[in-house]
Structures are given as C-alpha cells and as structure tokens.
Structure 1
Amino acid sequence: MKLSSVILLLLAAAASGAIEKRVVGSRSCKTDRQYHVQIQSIQPGKSCGGSLINTRWVITASHCAEQDVKLMLGVNNNVGIFTKLWSSVRGKSKKLEQVITTKQQFSYTEDEGKAHDIMLIKLNEDMSDKLPTIRLPPPDECTKPAIHQQVEIGGWGAKKADILNNKLPKSLKCASTDLSTCDENDKPGDQYVSDEESTMCAFRPGVETCFGDAGSAVEYNNLLHGIVLSNPVDKCASTIVMANICRYREWIDETMKKNP
C-alpha cells in the first residue's frame, strides 16, 4: 500500500473514531515491560514496538523496519524524571535514541529467499546492563504454547487523538489474551511466509491490537514467546496474529553470534 493511501486511511479513521485506544481492553503496564522499544520510520508512515533482548540487540517484526528507523529505548523505564534530565545534560541519554540503517537489520529468510516477518536489529551502541531486557526461552527447551493458554501482550500504538500530531500516548498498555486456532486469513502480510509452525493467533473478546502495536512482545511464563504481527490501519485487530519465537530460536542465537 502506498504511503499516501495509508495516510488517507489514518485520517479517515481518526475522523470516524475507528481507531481506538492502543491495545483495546488493556490496563496500564506501570513498571512492567521496561524492555519495550519504540520504533519509528525516519520517513513518516511506520510506528511499531520492539523488545530489548540484551544490551546490543532488539527483536521486532520485519515490516516494522526494512528502512532507516529511529529506536527509542527505555521509554517505559521507571527512572525518575530528574535522573533522566541529568543524564541528558551529561550526554548519557543519547544512546536511548538511535537511528538504525538497514545494514544493521537482519530478517529471517529461508534458503529459497522467502522472508518471514521477524527481525533482529543491532544497536549502534550498547545499552546499560541495568536497563531491563526480556528473556528468551532456552533453545533446547523452547515449545510453542498450547491453544487456550494465556499470554500477555502490550503496546504503545495509536489512539485517535494522537494520529494527526504524531505523538506517542502517555503510557504503555498491557493486556491478557488467549491463544486460539488461526483461521485461513489469519497470517502476516502476503510478502511473508506463514505456516502452522511459524505463526500463532490469540483471541479474547474485547482485547485488540491497534496501529503501532505490531512488533511488540508476547509473553508466556515471563519469557518472550511471540512477536505481534497484526498491522491494522483502518481498524484494530480482534484476532491477534503473532510469530512463534520457538520457530526462530536457533536463528536468533546464530545471527547475534555472526554479527558481534
């Protein structure tokens, strides 16, 4: 879809109220999800979430980048405002906002060149090891969560009052939902591979993800087990499509090892 079409859809949705608060049916995350990363394209049009998995790497959905992007880290950090201001004065907060080129973006592709909607982003600078990260399941014990299991989602997506001004909402939102069977149309964008092993779905009445929530973490047993792939534009997604981290667990370790 062309950028102009996306903008028109956003304007129409804002006028009609079709785009509601981010992560509909949610609660404030408070001090949870301090690993959350906000991702914005340099050229307006893309807004997503991501997760800090160690001091140098962020994981998100491929469609959230594939161009130069700005990453904002520590956005849900519980560090006091005066501490942040002092860090800014001393120049230590610069690494909390990093512009990442495509050379530091690594999407999973099959041997035939077919792409999957999952990406690792290498930061320009290491973050402090005091900044919270999210843990991955062990490679040799990673199992796709079963249908009906409860998972935790979150995001900093659009709400209608902020779309035209391109401002972030004031707080990160969290919600619980239940894994469900994916229907035929529940899959990532057509340019990405989707099958039973790589894709998960979740549904709970009243819980939806909205524009800007894609790329955010799906937690199960306090571990990163999924990435939100749903990328709604003109309305929020009631069935949430997610990447299954276990499908890519070995690739994650291999990619970080090959790109120190």
Structure 2
Amino acid sequence: MKLCLVLVLLLGGSASGDIEKRILGSTECKKDRQYHVQIESVQGGRSCGGALLNTRWVITAAHCAGQAIKVKLGLNNDVSIFTKAFSLMKGNSKKHEQTVPVAQQHAFKDEEGKLHDIVLIKLNEDMSAKTPTIDLHSGECSRPPPKAKVQVGGMGQAKTGGKPVKEVRCATTEISACGENDKPADAYHSDETTTMCAHRPGVEACFGDAGSAVEYEGHLHGIIVSDPVDKCANQIVMLDICYYMEWIEKTMKEN
C-alpha cells in the first residue's frame, strides 16, 4: 500500500532531492487483493481505497464519499493483456470506471443519528460475476485478537501531491491496543466497540489509503479510517466490520 514502510534509506552518492518516500518492506500484491478499488472525488483532492463486496456493492470510509465520486475497479485483476483488450472492444471498460452520485452512497448512522466513518456504495452497473470480491463472514464474526496478523493494502501516496502509485501494494501488520487519540475524524462517532487499531514497526497508512480493506483469515474484518495528509500513520486506525455486519446485509438487500 503505500502502506509506506517508511525507513531511512542511506544511499551513497544519491542526492537527497532524488530520494522519494515510497513503500519499503511492502510488496506488489500480485494476485492478492484483486477486489481493491480506487475512489476519487469528481471535484478532485480526495483519493481513497475500497473493496468490492459483490457485483454491485463497494465498501469504503464515509469521509471518502458524500459527493459525486469516481470508482475505479479491476485495478489488480489477474487477467491477460488480451483479455483487457477484448473487454475494451466490447465496451466493458466503462464498467471499470463509474461515476457514482450521492444518492447511491449509504453511510451508517447509529440509533442516536450519529454518523460512523463507513459507507456502502451501489454501482451504476453490475460488474462481471467473475470479478474478484472480498469475502464477508456468513456466520459469527468476531474481532481479531491482540497481536493477530492482518493484511492491509492500497495505493496511497506518502503525502498530498506526491507521485501517483500505479500498483496496489500489500503489507502485514498486527492488531494492537488503540491509544486515547486513535479514532476517526471528529465528525464521526467511534468507541471501543467500533474501532480497532494495528501497529507494526515500519508499516504505515498514507494519504489515499483510507477506506482500504483490512483482511484477516481470508475475510473482510476492517476498513482503514486513518487519513494522514502530510505524513504517514504508523498506528493504523480501523473500523471493526463485525460491528456493522447486520447493517451491511440489510442495506444491500433493501437497496
């Protein structure tokens, strides 16, 4: 992800201006995280990740939406260049970049009307049934225990205005205790029942990684809500998907 494993590089002979913050220690996802989507505001200035749940629905952080957005799908699909060319000729490419209005964005509000930093996005057109999706729990869902290894990924930049990242990056971090100030932005409600954190030396969530999926034992278990701007965040703050499972299923069924 630009889960920036931001370490100090000592490159002899390199001018300091040529050293760009980049992902270190994370790897190209290759065949992993093929469900990843990129979300950008139509007006510009906002970039996030997300995950495809099924042929019609995407999940991400609420602060990534709330206005018309471009959803880019199939960025890491394991298909040949010939398949991509055939898809383009058939006109399927428009499905892989859809502009979704606010009316099709469903943010979570609790019983007290407080907004949480999570949203479901209904696409304009169904993706192919062959498009990779991330698995949701079909039965009991419980939070990963402390020190459990979870997988994170994305296409974030080290800072606002940084160089675009052209590939989805993957890394592993560990569930840890949240600090007093580890929570979503003040506009969103959170507490110990909704929020969890992860930390591993060198693994950081960067600008554009918010909304990306947190995967544990092959299932979606979290959504990154850390939203750093000028530097990356080593303590990654996430919403616990288990808390929202009933809402996710109900929203997709009723809309």
TM-score computed with the length of structure 2 as normaliser = 0.89
Question: 234, 238, 242: which one pairs with 1:238?
Answer: 234
1:134 is paired with a residue whose SS is coil
Distance 1:251 1:170, change over 3 A: same
Distance 1:17 1:154, change over 3 A: farther
CA distance in 2, matches of 1:194, 1:17: 40
Q: Deviations over 1:152-172 (max 9, x none)?
A: 000011156x936xx742211
1:95 is paired with a residue whose SS is helix
Matched with 1:214 is 210
Deviation at 1:142, TM superposition (A): 0.4
Percentage identity across paired residues of the two chains: 58
1:253 is paired with a residue whose SS is helix
Cα contact 1:36–1:51 (8 A) shared by 2: yes
2:156 is the counterpart of 1:141: no
CA distance in 1, matches of 2:235, 2:20: 16
Matched with 1:12 is none
CA distance in 1, matches of 2:199, 2:19: 19
Q: Deviations over 1:204-224 (max 9, x none)?
A: 001101000110000000100
Distance 1:219 1:178, change over 3 A: same
2:193 is the counterpart of 1:194: no
2:92 is paired with a residue whose SS is coil
After TM superposition, the runs of 4+ consecutive aligned structure 1 residues lying more than 3 A away are 15-19
Give the structure with the larger helix fraction.
1
Task: Give ranges in structure 1 of 5+ residues lacking alignment.
Answer: 1-14
2:119 is the counterpart of 1:119: yes
Cα contact 1:230–1:241 (8 A) shared by 2: yes
CA distance in 2, matches of 1:96, 1:129: 13
Matched with 1:176 is 172
Matched with 2:4 is none
Q: How many residues align?
A: 240
Cα contact 2:28–2:169 (8 A) shared by 1: yes
1:227 is paired with a residue whose SS is strand
Task: Give ranges in structure 2 of 5+ residues lacking alignment.
Answer: 1-15
Aligned partner of 1:205: which letter? Answer: P
Aligned partner of 1:233: which letter? Answer: V
Aligned partner of 2:22: which letter? Answer: K
Matches within 5 A, 1:61-76: 61-76=61-76
Aligned partner of 2:49: which letter? Answer: G
Deviation at 1:113, TM superposition (A): 1.5
